[in-house]
């Protein structure tokens, strides 16, 4: 469920709390479980106490839940071994792969600690505690505080609270707003900077079904991998060092061999990234009619262009595999979301709810603060439609060259060069930073592929945005020499790629040997990117900032009013990459007439989907096929069959990828890895009949580790509960 959040954040227009919570809906804060959820969880079948899930001074379940920033992992051994999804470790596997040791295709299994692979830049954060700091953040703010002052006061208070809580860098402290700025919570983490790759199946197993099966059920994907946290000799976070040792975990999640049946309790803990459950109908229309179609079109073209080159060259395929997988996931998500919004009639339903809210707001003098909030919000959204398209095209098409990501590093070098008194130490540090960024970048960069992408994306830009609304630098291309837009773009791009130092590692490093500010200013890519940034800063950014400021204020007031309107409801805050708990049950579903999906799949489905063609989404190694045909499942089968994946009605979203799926005793029964196609509107509206979480069965994970890979050393680390 990896998801691109860049655009959702940059053009955030949503609210984040459901209006009417369904029985299994909710991404709940662990510290509030005792007050809000314990009784209901027990009714669902949970046997854990609230203290066993979350407490500060004693080990609890929360101590085994790990944020990987973009995904979730869980600690499953006393030596800091973590399980997460294959797609969460995909970039780490790819970065450690080459043509002569292709871990993507062949898999990777460390037989000892010494064989585990470094993952540069990867961190693992474990929650120490959370705290409601609303009164501290809003202590000097009242109804008369104007919005600009409020933003500054809130920002200053958050910085002060986080700085104090970090204990001079000992912890990572973050203050997050909840309920659109009506409440604020402090989250304190221990963040480990030495994380290593331990094991991963071949991508034919870890991604079985590929783009074809993505977001679909039934599913037969072994979407798992293993990482390990390392610490210093005192078990504290430390930068990567060879003498670091495996982290000694405070809590380890036992692995259940007992399985599950339909109706069994299921609980997931993790770090969901972003939900927008309280989106207004005009904002939903903006998403459906403008944002999603643009992203679908532009992402689709980039994916198509990448795929052509990947199919022609193994090296390019390895270089672009992670980038392609991530973008393809988002592209398909937006397609599904639009289909779901239309199919379920969500917008019409939301308009009815808004009418009821407005009627309530106008019904009493005490509510008049909220009477016009929706009307004002709707006007602002309506005026933003044309601008959003320009922003998206400029960001995704105008800046489509990958090489542009390196410009900032040489600008940093230039900034040191042009100082009246050059600080040699500071200059050397920026050069080292640039060299490191270049090393990472060019490893997964192909100039011809980048050139092809620029040609295709710029053609869409020129064809779709009227000439009068193009940035001057883009309009110049449109007015250039050539009979067609394609010819004009090709001439421009050919000149750009021939002369810019950024598309060549040799040229880039040669400039760093003798950095020169004047030559950098003349680089065609620098000139082009600077012109786009100037245009955006002068023409689009002010509109965007005004829009964000006005809507943020209205969203806060609206949600404040909604919680008064629905005062008997239990509200949970929107997902914002903080630790949450969701509970429900193992459950099948009935998506449409005459279609009934079972709640689990087995290895028989792998045989039915299997293709011998290695480029197929449904290819798996022959060894796996033989094991399945021989039913050589070891102790991991149930009644003669090996389950691969199963469904729950847990409420999750992107960021929950890799989250542990646990039974009533807090034992691991699976790993969450996806949602289902019929509920792609789940980030906006929870549908209890259709929304499902797709999980890989932990026994299939063990089967692959043990019977397929022979990684018994890793299986033996686990605490198996029979």
Q: Count of alpha carbons within 13 Å of 194, Cβ hemisphere only?
A: 19
Instruction: Note the pLDDT of residue 72.
Output: 98
Instruction: Note the pLDDT of residue 11.
Output: 34
Select which of 657, 659, 664, 683 is catalytic. Answer: 657
Placement of tokens 């837009």 in the chain: 485
What separation in angstroms does the CA of 170 have from each of 165, 173, 190, 236, 334? Answer: 9, 9, 8, 9, 40
Cβ neighbors of 508 (< 8 A, separation 6 or more) are: 406, 410, 438, 442, 501, 502
3-state helix, strand, coil in the chain (%, to 5): 50, 15, 35
pTM summary value: 0.88
Instruction: Note the pLDDT of residue 148.
Output: 85
Give the pLDDT confidence of 165-218 residue by residue, as tens digits.
999 999 999 999 999 999 999 999 999 999 999 999 999 999 999 999 999 999
The alpha carbon of residue 541 and the mean position of all alpha carbons in its chain are separated, in whole angstroms, by: 25
Instruction: Note the pLDDT of residue 22.
Output: 57
Residues linked to residue 428 through DSSP beta bridges, in sequence order: none
- Average pLDDT score, the chain: 94
Q: Please give the Cα distance from 292 to 666 (Å, whole number).
A: 38
Give the pLDDT confidence of 520-556 residue by residue, as tens digits.
999 999 999 999 999 999 999 999 999 999 999 999 9
pLDDT reading at 6 higher than 70: no
Instruction: Note the pLDDT of residue 24.
Output: 78
Helices 314-344 and 292-312: crossing angle, nearest 10°? 150
Instruction: Note the pLDDT of residue 3.
Output: 46
How far the first Cα of the chain sits from its last, in Å, is 30
218 neighbors 212 (Cβ within 8 angstroms) = no
Q: Please give the Cα distance from 675 to 692 (Å, whole number).
A: 6
Instruction: Note the pLDDT of residue 17.
Output: 35
Cβ neighbors of 72 (< 8 A, separation 6 or more) are: 65, 66, 84, 88, 269, 270, 271, 655, 656, 657, 658, 659, 660
pLDDT reading at 126 higher than 60: yes
Helices 505-513 and 407-417: crossing angle, nearest 10°? 10
Long-range contact pairs involving 524-531 (C-beta distance under 8 Å, separation at least 24): 524/495, 524/496, 524/499, 524/500, 525/401, 525/403, 525/404, 525/407, 525/496, 525/500, 526/407, 526/410, 526/411, 526/500, 526/502, 528/473, 528/496, 529/399, 529/404, 529/407, 531/471, 531/472, 531/473
Select which of 63, 194, 213, 223 is catalytic. Answer: 223
Q: How confident is the model at residue 387 (pLDDT cuts 50, 70, 90)?
A: very high
Placement of tokens 């700085």 in the chain: 163
Cβ neighbors of 7 (< 8 A, separation 6 or more) are: 291, 295, 392, 395
Domains for the chain: give ranges and CATH numbers: 6-123+193-277+574-721 (2.40.10.120), 281-545 (no CATH)
Instruction: Note the pLDDT of residue 343.
Output: 87
Which DSSP symbol is given to 45? T
Known active-site residue 223: yes
Tokens of 226: 């293993």
Mean pLDDT of 495-513: 96
Instruction: Note the pLDDT of residue 23.
Output: 59
Of residues 41, 71, 43, 44, the one with CA closest to residue 53: 41
Of residues 605, 685, 690, the one with CA closest to residue 645: 605
685 neighbors 19 (Cβ within 8 angstroms) = no
141 neighbors 79 (Cβ within 8 angstroms) = no
Placement of tokens 């011998």 in the chain: 612
Q: How confident is the model at residue 383 (pLDDT cuts 50, 70, 90)?
A: confident
H/E stretch holding 600: strand 600-602
Range list of β-strands (E), 1-89: 65-67, 72-75, 81-84
Q: Please give the Cα distance from 713 to 435 (Å, whole number).
A: 38
Give the pLDDT confidence of 582-628 residue by residue, as tens digits.
999 999 999 999 999 999 999 999 999 999 999 999 999 999 999 99
What separation in angstroms does the CA of 580 have from each of 66, 75, 250, 585? Answer: 12, 16, 19, 17
Instruction: Note the pLDDT of residue 278.
Output: 83
Instruction: Note the pLDDT of residue 91.
Output: 94
Q: How confident is the model at residue 19 (pLDDT cuts 50, 70, 90)?
A: very low
pLDDT reading at 636 higher than 80: yes
Mean pLDDT of 288-311: 96
pLDDT reading at 21 higher than 70: no
Select which of 15, 44, 86, 87 is catalytic. Answer: 87
Least confident of 22-26, 359-363, 590-594: 22-26
Give the pLDDT confidence of 660-718 residue by residue, as tens digits.
999 999 999 999 999 999 999 889 989 999 999 999 999 999 999 999 999 999 999 99
Rounded to a whole number of angstroms, the CA Rg of the chain reads: 26
pLDDT reading at 338 higher than 70: yes
Q: Please give the Cα distance from 637 to 700 (Å, whole number).
A: 9
pLDDT reading at 16 higher than 60: no
Least confident of 5-9, 90-94, 405-409, 555-559: 5-9
Instruction: Note the pLDDT of residue 9.
Output: 32
526 neighbors 520 (Cβ within 8 angstroms) = yes
Give the pLDDT confidence of 45-72 residue by residue, as tens digits.
999 999 999 999 899 999 999 999 999 9
Mean pLDDT of 478-506: 96
Tokens of 116: 């585990």
Range list of β-strands (E), 162-290: 172-178, 183-192, 194-200, 225-231, 245-246, 255-256, 265-270
Beta strand 643-648 pairing with 600-602:
antiparallel
pLDDT reading at 361 higher than 80: yes
Known active-site residue 657: yes
Give the pLDDT confidence of 483-493 residue by residue, as tens digits.
999 999 999 99
H/E stretch holding 463: helix 447-464
Q: Please give the Cα distance from 218 to 657 (Å, whole number).
A: 18
């Amino acid at each position: 469920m990896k998801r691109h959040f860049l655009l959702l954040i940059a053009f955030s227009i949503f609210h984040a709390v459901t209006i009417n919570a369904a029985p299994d809906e909710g991404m709940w804060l662990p510290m509030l479980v005792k007050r809000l959820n314990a009784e209901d969880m027990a009714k669902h079948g949970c046997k854990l106490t609230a203290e066993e899930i979350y407490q500060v001074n004693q080990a609890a379940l929360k101590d085994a839940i790990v944020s990987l920033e973009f995904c979730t992992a869980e600690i499953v051994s006393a030596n800091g071994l973590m399980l997460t999804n294959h797609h969460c470790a995909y970039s780490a596997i790819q970065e450690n792969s080459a043509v002569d040791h292709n871990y993507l295709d062949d898999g990777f299994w460390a037989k000892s600690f010494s064989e585990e692979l470094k993952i540069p830049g990867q961190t693992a954060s474990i929650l120490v505690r959370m705290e409601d700091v609303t009164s501290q953040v809003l202590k000097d703010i009242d109804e008369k505080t104007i919005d600009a002052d409020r933003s500054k006061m809130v920002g200053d208070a958050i910085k002060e609270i986080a700085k104090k809580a970090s204990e001079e860098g000992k912890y990572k402290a973050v203050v997050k707003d909840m309920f659109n700025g009506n409440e604020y919570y402090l989250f304190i983490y221990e963040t480990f900077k030495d994380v290593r790759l331990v094991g991963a199946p071949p991508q034919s197993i870890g991604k079985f079904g590929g783009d074809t099966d993505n977001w679909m059920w039934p599913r037969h994907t072994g979407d798992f991998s293993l990482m390990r946290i390392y610490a210093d000799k005192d078990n504290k976070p430390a930068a990567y060092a060879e003498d670091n040792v495996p982290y000694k975990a405070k809590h380890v999640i036992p692995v259940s061999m007992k399985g599950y049946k339909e109706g069994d309790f299921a609980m997931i803990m993790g770090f969901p990234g972003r939900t927008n459950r309280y989106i207004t109908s005009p904002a939903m229309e903006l998403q459906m009619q403008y944002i999603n179609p643009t992203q679908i079109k532009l992402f689709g073209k980039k994916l198509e262009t990448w795929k052509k080159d990947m199919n022609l060259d193994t090296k390019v395929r390895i270089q672009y595999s992670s980038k392609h997988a991530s973008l393809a996931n988002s592209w398909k998500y937006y397609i599904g979301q639009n289909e779901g919004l239309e199919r379920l009639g969500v917008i019409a339903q939301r308009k009815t709810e808004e009418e009821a809210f407005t009627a309530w707001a106008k019904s009493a003098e005490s509510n008049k603060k909220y009477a016009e909030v929706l009307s004002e919000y709707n006007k602002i959204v309506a005026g933003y439609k044309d601008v959003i398209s320009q922003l998206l095209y400029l960001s995704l098409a105008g800046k489509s060259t990958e090489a542009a990501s390196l410009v900032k590093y040489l600008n940093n070098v230039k900034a040191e060069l042009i100082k009246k008194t050059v600080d040699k130490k500071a200059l050397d540090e920026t050069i080292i930073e640039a060299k490191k960024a270049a090393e990472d970048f060019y490893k997964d960069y192909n100039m011809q592929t980048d050139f092809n992408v620029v040609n295709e994306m710029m053609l869409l830009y020129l064809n779709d945005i009227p000439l009068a609304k193009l940035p001057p630098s883009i309009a110049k291309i449109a007015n250039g020499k050539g009979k067609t837009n394609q010819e004009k773009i090709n001439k421009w791009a050919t000149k750009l790629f021939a002369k810019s130092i950024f598309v060549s590692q040799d040229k880039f490093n040669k400039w760093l040997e003798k950095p020169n500010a004047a030559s950098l200013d003349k680089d065609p890519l620098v000139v082009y990117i600077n012109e786009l940034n100037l245009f955006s800063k002068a023409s689009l950014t002010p509109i965007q900032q005004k829009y964000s400021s006005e809507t943020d204020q209205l969203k806060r007031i609206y949600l404040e009013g909604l919680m008064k309107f629905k005062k008997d409801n239990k509200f949970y805050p929107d997902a914002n990459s903080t630790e949450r708990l969701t509970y429900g049950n193992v459950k099948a579903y009935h998506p449409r007439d005459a279609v009934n999906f079972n709640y689990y799949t087995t290895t028989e489905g792998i045989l039915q989907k299997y293709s011998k063609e290695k480029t197929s989404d449904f290819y798996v190694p022959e060894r796996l096929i033989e094991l399945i045909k021989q039913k050589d499942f070891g102790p991991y089968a149930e009644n003669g069959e090996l389950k691969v994946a199963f469904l729950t009605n847990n409420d999750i979203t992107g960021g929950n990828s890799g989250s542990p799926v646990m039974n009533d005793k807090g034992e691991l029964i699976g790993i969450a890895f996806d949602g289902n196609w019929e509920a792609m509107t789940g980030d906006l509206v929870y549908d209890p009949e259709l929304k499902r979480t797709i999980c890989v069965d932990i026994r299939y994970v063990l089967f692959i580790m043990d019977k397929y890979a022979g990684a018994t050393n890793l299986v033996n680390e686990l605490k198996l509960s029979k």
